[in-house]
Amino acid sequence: MSMPSEKVNGAQLISLIHMIRIVPVTIVFPTLLAVQMVQDLWIATLAGAVLALLIIIPLVFLGLKFPEQTVIQYSETILGNLPGKVVGLILVIYWLKIAADVIYAIGDAFTLAVMPETPIWVFTTIIAFMGAYTARHGLEVIGRISFNFMAIVVLVGIMVIVLPFEAAKVKNLLPVLENGLEPLIKPVLVNLSFWAQLVVIGMLLPHLNRIRDSVRFSGYALLITGTLIVLFSITLTVVFGVTAKDLSLPAYSLVRMIRVARFLERIEIIILISWTLAAAAKLALMLWAGSLGLVQIFGSSNYSALVYPLGIVCIIAAHLLHDNHMEYMSTLVQSAPFIVVTVAALIIILAFGWLVRRGSDSTGGI
Amino acid sequence: MTIVSLLALVLVPLCSGCWSRREIQDLAFVTALGVDKGPEDGTLKLTVHIAKPFAVAGGEGKKEPEKPFLVATSIGSTSIEATRNFVKKTPVRLDWTHNRFVLFGESFAREGIIDTLSIVGRDTQMRRSTLVIVAHNSTAEELLQAEFELERIPASGAEAILTASQQRLATSVVCTVNDFMQALQAEGIEPLGTRAQAVPLAPAGEKPGETNIEGELTREEVALTAEIAGIAVFKGDKLVGFMEDRETRGYNWIGGQVRNTIMSLDLPQLDKTAGVEVIRAKSSIIPQIESGNIEFKVRIDVQAIMQEVTWLPGSLADEEAIAMIEQRASALIKEEAESALAKAQNLNADVFGFGREIYRRHPREWAGIKEQWEELFPFLNVQFEVTTKLRSPGMTRF
């Protein structure tokens, strides 16, 4: 198989990982729904970010072992033809499902918060078109826009975290873990189910211009994104206390609480910008990964013709899978354990398969 | 590519948001919302202040200054229906994004306000930073007739008074819908709102000078103004009583929310009343649980400066005078805090969050007593430890 020609650099890798994780946090934040006590939220997100290492480390390790192959390709190398294709297909379906979720999240958020009378398909179609249009231009373009968008998204994130200080009551963080660690299991699983989306970096690593950097840059991405999410959880808790769990769009509600010196207020537009940009970048990446993965399963590499059809499939899937906000949220929360287990199983199979193959290779060599 | 361009051509006009478009000249900005019981059972009556932008801006050569706001009322069986019924009366669409207050009439608030508040939480235009106010001894509609001489828009005036009376006098509390909802849902604390009272001014008689020069000197007549001070105490979402100015300051002492205030201290030794200004105060509420017996210690630390007190040089040593004033100040603070606690215990509404303090520090013990908190709170033993420090004598030493 030929060496991939599209290249992204380390900073772009950071931004792509950031976009993947930040989208569900800034829009609906499903982890919030899973916590028993809001005070536990920041602990759950912190634990999730740390446990995400268990997903990233084996992926990066496998990526280093197969520096010229995507996860779709090396799963065939490791597991053999048919099982490899099955694993590849599961991953592709997973990425397209993520794309459909992102599309629905944007449509849902816009109709819920800003333009309730506008039909939801207006937003889902526009965001899907933006994502597919970007995806068709290839990974380099996705990398560049997501790097540029990240500056805005992080800036908005910091504003959202810092500016509602007037309404913050730090004591809302007490008591810490009143019922022990057991109530944390569910929120940590939900949180991890979103970190699990990072398996898509299996598609990115062969395109990294210096593959050795992948360890370092994935670590940075995890650090930046994890810190933002934990700080965001803390701000949510101190501003909204027990009522945080009631919020449909926590970040949006948080921005609406900003009122600095009777002067800086009504700036919810910034979170809309952040949503749209981050979702478009993430969607582009998922559609790119989905189409490239699909053609690679069938042994080709020209994916661009598939991007728009898959985009349309994702819009339809978004509308078929989800009906309304409540149902969407409970699906995200309830499917979390299944997703975590599936992704973990795939990674374990690949890592174990690689170990077995290396063992047989070396014995064969002797 | 042609297809893409065509698609873009079709989609771009859609991006301007045709469906939910609003033009600014078609909007009327609500600055305050009042809620009362309606004329019939099961209905409620909303009163709103609508800003009149053309009157705020003021036209040139206008003789009679127009009131910059309109008071409109509407009736419905739910608050949201009543807000929609304004359509019958106002030619422009009401916009709630700039609404700063939700005001409840006393009799309405006594029957529970949560359903009305829920529209503030759910609606995309209203905000959780809206302030909750309860009209004492009147309906919200009456209170919304109030105006302020020095501020043309009553909502701005009320907000300025509320902020000032909280920050510079400590006789008021700023309570947003967000605070209210949190207190309602959290364990071991009851919500509260700001109290406001309508104050009628002396009826305007014939005033000389009013018509001396035509138009130029006409002054707006203000028949009713509002005083914003005190606390409306809730139990659940139902109003149960009010705290007066002193009790409100007591509440603020206990919560450590006093930023600045003036205290008048009787000094029998000098046979006069001294005025000191509090410049900083903080408090800590410490629950003490020993073998099932719950006691609270509230430590209040206050820093003050002397403003209005004299004594003859030589009649009293500085240290003595300062010690005396500090002691009187501490005693007064303790008295106010105790009166606030007594009022809350009388109403059996734990607005201070003593129960929440137990929950935060001793969650296990709280689990055991939270069911009985209602029986425990009225007889709760709270020790106040107040220390006052006079920091500076001001510009003179005597």
Secondary structure of B298-314 in HEC code, one letter for each residue: EEEEEEEEEEECCCCCC
* Closest residue by Cα to residue B36 from B87, B112, B109, B123: B109
For chain A, strand residue ranges (E) read 259-260, 264-265
Count CB-CB contacts under 10 A for residue A359.
Answer: 10
Set of chain A residues whose Cβ sits within 8 Å of the Cβ of B166: none
* Closest residue by Cα to residue B293 from B218, B199, B368, B397: B368
In a domain, A363, yes or no: no
- Residue B215's pLDDT is 45
For B291-375, strand residue ranges (E) read 293-308
Across the interface, do B11 and A257 touch by the CB < 8 Å criterion?
Answer: no
- Residue A155's pLDDT is 93
ipTM of the complex: 0.87
Cα–Cα distance for residue pair B56/B51, rounded to 1 Å? 8
B294's tokens:
């719950």
What confidence tens digit (pLDDT) does each residue in B47-99 have? 999 988 776 555 555 555 677 888 999 999 998 899 899 888 888 888 888 89
Share of chain B above pLDDT 70, in %: 88
| Residue whose token pair is 């002691």 | B327
- Residue A281's pLDDT is 94
The rounded Cα A295 to chain-centroid distance in angstroms is 23
Cα–Cα distance for residue pair B360/A171, rounded to 1 Å? 8
Q: Which of B15, B178, B185 has the highest number of chain A CBs within 10 A, making it the mutation to test binding with A?
A: B178
In a domain, A52, yes or no: yes
In a domain, A313, yes or no: yes
Residue of B nearest to A172 (CA): B360
What confidence tens digit (pLDDT) does each residue in B156-199 have? 889 889 989 998 999 999 999 999 999 999 888 999 999 999 88
Q: Is B20 near chain A, with CB under 8 Å?
A: yes
The DSSP call for residue B221 is -
In a domain, A125, yes or no: yes
Which pLDDT band holds residue B202 (cuts at 50, 70, 90)?
A: low
In a domain, A364, yes or no: no
Q: Which residues, at least 6 apart from A244, have a Cβ–Cβ distance to it below 8 Å? A: A32, A38, A41, A236, A237, A250
Q: Is A118 near chain B, with CB under 8 Å?
A: yes
Set of chain B residues whose Cβ sits within 8 Å of the Cβ of A253: 128
- Residue B302's pLDDT is 93
Residue A317 sits in a domain of what CATH number? 1.20.1740.10
Across the interface, do B7 and A129 touch by the CB < 8 Å criterion?
Answer: yes
Across the interface, do A243 and B19 touch by the CB < 8 Å criterion?
Answer: no
Across the interface, do A257 and B127 touch by the CB < 8 Å criterion?
Answer: yes
Single-letter code of the amino acid located at B70:
L
Q: Which of B15, B156, B182 has the highest number of chain A CBs within 10 A, making it the mutation to test binding with A?
A: B182
Give the domain extent around A345: 10-353
Set of chain B residues whose Cβ sits within 8 Å of the Cβ of A240: 178, 182
Q: Is B379 near chain A, with CB under 8 Å?
A: no
Set of chain B residues whose Cβ sits within 8 Å of the Cβ of A171: 360
Pairing relation of β-strands B261-267 and B272-290? antiparallel
Across the interface, do B121 and A246 touch by the CB < 8 Å criterion?
Answer: yes
Cα–Cα distance for residue pair B280/B201, rounded to 1 Å? 35
A264's tokens:
């800086």
Query: Taking a contact as any Cβ pair under 8 Å apart, which residues of chain B between 182 and 241 contact chain A?
Result: 182, 185-186
Triad B303, B305, B308: Cα angle to 5°: 140
Q: Is B181 near chain A, with CB under 8 Å?
A: yes
- Residue B212's pLDDT is 43
The answer to whether the beta carbons of residues B239 and B227 sit under 8 Å apart is no
- Residue by residue, pLDDT tens for chain A (366 residues) are 444 578 888 899 999 999 999 998 888 888 888 888 889 999 999 999 999 999 889 999 898 888 888 888 888 888 888 999 999 999 999 999 999 999 999 999 999 888 888 899 999 999 999 999 999 998 999 999 999 999 999 999 999 999 988 888 888 888 888 888 888 999 999 999 999 999 999 999 989 888 888 888 999 999 999 999 999 999 999 999 999 988 989 999 999 888 887 778 888 888 988 989 999 999 999 999 999 999 999 887 788 889 999 999 999 999 999 989 999 999 999 999 999 999 999 999 998 888 888 877 655 443
A-B C-beta contacts closer than 8 Å: 63
Q: Is B7 near chain A, with CB under 8 Å?
A: yes
Cα–Cα distance for residue pair A230/A223, rounded to 1 Å? 10
The DSSP call for residue B151 is B
What confidence tens digit (pLDDT) does each residue in A184-234 have? 999 999 999 999 999 999 999 989 888 888 888 999 999 999 999 999 999
Domains of chain B listed by start with CATH number? 24-58+65-203+216-243 (no CATH), 246-392 (3.30.300.210)
What confidence tens digit (pLDDT) does each residue in B305-346 have? 888 887 777 777 778 888 888 999 999 999 999 999 999 999
Q: Which residues, at least 6 apart from A11, have a Cβ–Cβ distance to it below 8 Å? A: A147, A217
Cα–Cα distance for residue pair A272/A255, rounded to 1 Å? 10
In a domain, A358, yes or no: no
Rg over CA atoms, chain A? 20
Strand partners, B277: B262, B305
- Residue B217's pLDDT is 42
How many domains are contained in chain A? Answer: 1
| Residue whose token pair is 């398909």 | A121
Across the interface, do B7 and A115 touch by the CB < 8 Å criterion?
Answer: no
Find the Cα–Cα–Cα–Cα dihedral B35, A241, B301, B393, rounded to 10°.
-60
What confidence tens digit (pLDDT) does each residue in A138-184 have? 899 999 999 999 999 999 999 999 998 888 888 888 888 888 888 89
Which pLDDT band holds residue B15 (cuts at 50, 70, 90)?
A: low
In a domain, A297, yes or no: yes
Q: Is A354 near chain B, with CB under 8 Å?
A: no
The answer to whether the beta carbons of residues A153 and A18 sit under 8 Å apart is yes
* Closest residue by Cα to residue B96 from B2, B171, B157, B177: B177
Burial code (b: 16+ CB inside 10 Å, e: under 16) for B296-332 equals bebebebbbebeebebeeeebeeeebbebbbebbbeb
- In chain B, the largest separation of any two C-alpha atoms, in whole Å, equals 99
Cis peptide before B68 (omega within 30 of 0): no
Rg over CA atoms, chain B? 26
What confidence tens digit (pLDDT) does each residue in B256-304 have? 999 999 999 988 888 888 889 999 999 999 998 887 788 999 999 999 9
Across the interface, do A133 and B20 touch by the CB < 8 Å criterion?
Answer: no
| Residue whose token pair is 């900005």 | B29
Q: Is A246 near chain B, with CB under 8 Å?
A: yes
Q: Which of B10, B20, B162 has the highest number of chain A CBs within 10 A, making it the mutation to test binding with A?
A: B20
Count CB-CB contacts under 10 A for residue A170.
Answer: 10
CA distances from residue B59 to B55, B65, B216, B304 in whole angstroms, order as listed = 7, 9, 14, 48
A159's tokens:
């504003």
